[in-house]
Structure 1
Amino acid sequence: MATEPETPVAALAAEPAVPSLVDRYFTRWYKADVKGKPCEDHCILQHSNRICVITLAGSHPVLQSGKAIKSISYQISTNCSRLQNKVSGKFKRGAQILTELAPLCKIYCSDGEEYTIYICVRGRLMVVNENILHKPSILQEKPSTEGYTAVVLPKFEESKSITEGFTDTKTV
């Protein structure tokens, strides 16, 4: 007795979902209550080549419903702007060297709230995401991909120990 061939839709539904690019190539680390501020949680995506992508954790107030981002600024003080970071060459000359609690950017919400985003990882600032300056909504729409805030390269010797104090679970 012959069986009917499966429909293409049924065959696709039976296959397991393919993990996203972030889930496939990065390890997620969460830093809860950065600088003692409740719910201001950050997520660090660490690649196997030790590069770290700084993003906001899903529990951060900016990503909660009802928040609207008015603007984002990488101007930390009158003399310090993360946009002035110019990296070149094999040894990444010109990169700003930052500590864990160095401010990265400020997010201004339409309700008057202001949030400071921190690096959370000691290392060289490779690049900041200038796209979120022009379209701040991608920070909320795609926080783990196009809405990242910066890319940091930790020192080789410290690349294994940078995750001390972080959790690998989403419940921060």
Structure 2
Amino acid sequence: MKDNSVDDTDKLDSSVQNNPTRQRQQHKEDEEDGLQRLLLPDARDLPLIPPSAVESNFVSYFAPDFIKPGHDQYVYRHANGLCVIGLAPTHVAFKDSGGITAVDFNVGRSDRSVIKVTGKRKKNAQQFEPNTALCKVCTNDGSYIVRCCVKGSLLEVNDRLIKLPGLLHSSADREGYVAIIMPKPADWLKAKGLLLGLEAYKKLRDC
């Protein structure tokens, strides 16, 4: 018994192949279908919780017990090479009674908050070592030094923390970051070997 549906499909394919106008229309329809699938993905394929801005734009690394026990810091690496430095959620400062009360960028031989980097060549940027102090975080029980974690040029510090130290409590991984560092590729590779990825860090701290 002859399958008429197969014959009809063959005729349709043949008519498309022999008609340039129809070919262009078919190609356009295929492109529109592909674009619609890209812009409107199947809801069943979407994650239950959308990724955060940090998860979307950065790769997260951590320096646990940096210099001293409990001094956990994060290094968020952007695709352009910039590294955002801040306090990891398990940093010992968050465990002190009364929380963080002040942030002081006047450490070492200079006040980091007055350093102003300008232009594409990053004029005035200072080259710091991984253990160079960025600021001092104060609590009712003591104070803690926050360090660079990676060797590179200091592009800016988050001087909002001077007036709003509470940002470290409410959004340490976003508005409460401490500084932005630009390491050279070779220096980054060296630093990366000493850092932990997100999953390894979670496993280490059981968080």
TM-score, structure 2 length as denominator? 0.71
Higher helix share: 2
Structure 1 segment 112-131 matched on structure 2, within 5 A: 113-131=142-160
Change (3 A) 1:154 1:58: same
Cα contact 2:97–2:140 (8 A) shared by 1: no
Question: Does 2:110 match 1:72?
Answer: no
SS in 2 for 1:160: helix
Percent sequence identity is: 29
Question: Does 2:118 match 1:88?
Answer: yes
Structure 1 segment 1-172 matched on structure 2, within 5 A: 16-35=48-67, 37-64=68-95, 66-77=97-108, 79-111=109-141, 113-168=142-197, 169-170=201-202, 171-172=204-205
Cα contact 1:103–1:118 (8 A) shared by 2: yes
Separation in structure 2 between the aligned mates of residue 157 and residue 115 of structure 1, nearest angstrom: 29
Cα contact 1:98–1:119 (8 A) shared by 2: yes
SS in 1 for 2:106: coil
The Cα RMSD (Å) is: 2.0
Counterpart of 2:13 in structure 1 is none
Cα contact 1:62–1:140 (8 A) shared by 2: no
The unaligned stretches of length 5 or more in structure 2 are: 1-42
Separation in structure 2 between the aligned mates of residue 51 and residue 166 of structure 1, nearest angstrom: 16
The unaligned stretches of length 5 or more in structure 1 are: 1-10
Separation in structure 2 between the aligned mates of residue 117 and residue 15 of structure 1, nearest angstrom: 35
- How far off is 1:64 after superposition? 2.9
Structure 1 segments, 4+ long, off by >2 Å, are: 63-67, 156-162, 169-172
Change (3 A) 1:17 1:81: same
TM-score, structure 1 length as denominator? 0.84
Residue identity matched to 1:31:
A
Figure out how many residues of one structure are paired with residues of the other and give that number: 158
Separation in structure 2 between the aligned mates of residue 24 and residue 99 of structure 1, nearest angstrom: 28
- How far off is 1:83 after superposition? 1.4
